[in-house]
Amino acid sequence: MNLNRYAYHYFLILFSAIPLSIVIGSAVSVINILLIDLSFIVLLVNKKNFSFLKDKTIIYLFVLYGYLIFNSFISIDYSEGILRNLGFLRIIILFVAFNYFYHENLFFSRMLKIWLIIILIIIIDVFIEYIYGTNLLGFGEVYGNRIVSFFKDEPIVGGFLNGFFLILIGFFINLNKKYNYFMFLFIIFFLVSIFITGERSNTIRALLGISTFLVLYKEINFKNKLLFFSIIFFIISALILNSHYLKTRFINQVKVMSMSENIYFDLYQSGFQVFQNNKIFGVGNKNYRVETCKKNKKLPIDSKDKYLCSTHPHQIYFELLSEHGLLGTFIILLILYKLIFSKITKITSEPNYLKIGSLIYLIFVFTPIIPSGAFFNNYMITIFTINLSIFYACDKNLNVFKIKPI
């Protein structure tokens, strides 16, 4: 690709700032991505390089984009979801840009090393907040024992760390595939930081993710894998026994919550009810809140529609069904199958741990039952796209700048 020095460093700064921009806030994250996208479009025009448009992957993404535009017009409130749906174009361009810059000399290596520094600072901040009650900037008192770190008023740092966890581990294992104790400690450090946030869903995903990763990590023998899981079990048990908060989050609350008392199952039921009333098209992207919060106030007490007012149903499948109906859910899941799940057998047979790490994250986004954030909101879709982009970029056959016949 051979960028000049100034363009190379300009884009390296923007890409390296992606995790930091997410932490600062949605507006900053969107601005950073738009800067990448607009600058990248100028670069493509200058290079006259649009070969990627012939790639099947890009065609699938534009089909999804076309569907989201259609979804805006059949939504119960057009104004709610139109910006989110139109904004999906920036996600496609970001995906293409990741694929392009993978071919630049040491670009990914330098970017991921900067990401590691940012993530390690956040992990240290998580431990500081866990020990002292507030983080380095004094955040944390609003949520009590919930860890917010630099996110200030949102307890989502566990999900954030989870989104970069396997990418960074896969990258550094690729640099040195031999088993070493530093990587062993690095994984434990990451896992414990996610666990002490108290985010149960993300802790489960992190444990499932690293377990799957280690099963596929051929350079570690069974004895060392068993030792690793034993140490993790011991550390988690010790933390629970010595922390009233963690004991409450991971044991006491789970014991007392039956399906009828669990807020998440109430949300799932509400999401399914919205789907039952809008089976074909759903209520529209970002319109779950419109349906449940506005309509809920008008429902009679004996109504069969037991809506629970919320921004989304907090589970990806109920979100898709309620907001996209059978038609949209089928289209979205079919495209995601083509982009991700159809590649599982080939990718897991190759010893590229950066690919494997990003793939595992993508798979566990779709874990049934476990609560999740709204899939198409900026925070979730950005982290998802980062993993999807890296998954494709670092594979010579999947990278969209290697043209394949349609």
DSSP per-residue string spanning 208-250: HHHHHHHHH-TTS-HHHHHHHHHHHHHHHHHHHHT-HHHHIII
Mean pLDDT highest for which of 224-228, 252-256, 377-381?
A: 377-381
Per residue in 299-312, is it b (16+ CB within 10 Å) or e — as a string?
eeeeeeeebbebeb
In this structure, what is the dihedral angle of CA atoms 386, 113, 355, 65, given to the nearest 10 degrees? 10
Alpha carbon distance 259, 257 (integer Å): 7
Mean per-residue pLDDT for 49-75? 95
Mean pLDDT for the chain overall:
89
- Total domains in the chain come to 1
Q: How confident is the model at residue 250 (pLDDT cuts 50, 70, 90)?
A: confident
For residue 310, is it within any domain? Answer: no
Instruction: Among 20-24, 44-48, 182-186, 381-385, name the one with the lowest average pLDDT.
Output: 182-186
Rounded average pLDDT over 314-336: 96
Residue 116: is it exposed, middle or buried by C-beta count within 10 angstroms (0-12/13-18/19+)?
middle
Report the alpha-carbon distance of residue 361 to residue 353 in Å, rounded: 12
> What is the pLDDT, as a whole number, of residue 301?
46
> pLDDT band at 384, cuts 50/70/90?
very high
Q: What angle do CA 205, 110, 361 make, to 5 degrees?
A: 15
pLDDT at position 185, please? 86
Residue 281 lies in a domain: no
What integer is the mean pLDDT of 117-134?
A: 94
Residue 251 in any domain: the answer is yes
39 occurs within a structural domain: yes
Task: Write the CB contacts of 60 (distance below 8 Å, at least 6 apart in sequence).
Answer: 335, 338, 339
Q: Which amino acid is at 246?
A: L
3-state secondary structure of 367: coil
Per-residue model confidence as pLDDT tens digits over 265-313: 889 999 999 999 999 999 999 999 999 987 665 555 445 567 888 888 9
Are 192 and 186 within 8 A, CB to CB? no
Q: How confident is the model at residue 252 (pLDDT cuts 50, 70, 90)?
A: low
248 within domain boundaries: yes
Q: What pLDDT does residue 78 have?
A: 87
Structure tokens of 325? Answer: 């109906």
Angle (CA) 51 53 54, round 5°: 80
pLDDT score for 352: 87
Q: What is the pTM of this model?
A: 0.93
Domain-located, residue 137: yes
Residue 216 lies in a domain: yes
**Which residue range forms the structural domain that includes residue 215?**
5-49+87-256+351-393
With respect to residue 81, please indicate whether it lies within any of the assigned structural domains. no
Count how many Cα atoms sit within 13 Å of the Cα of residue 117 in the half-sphere of its side chain: 8
The predicted structure's pLDDT at residue 166:
95
Task: Tally the residues of the chain.
Answer: 406
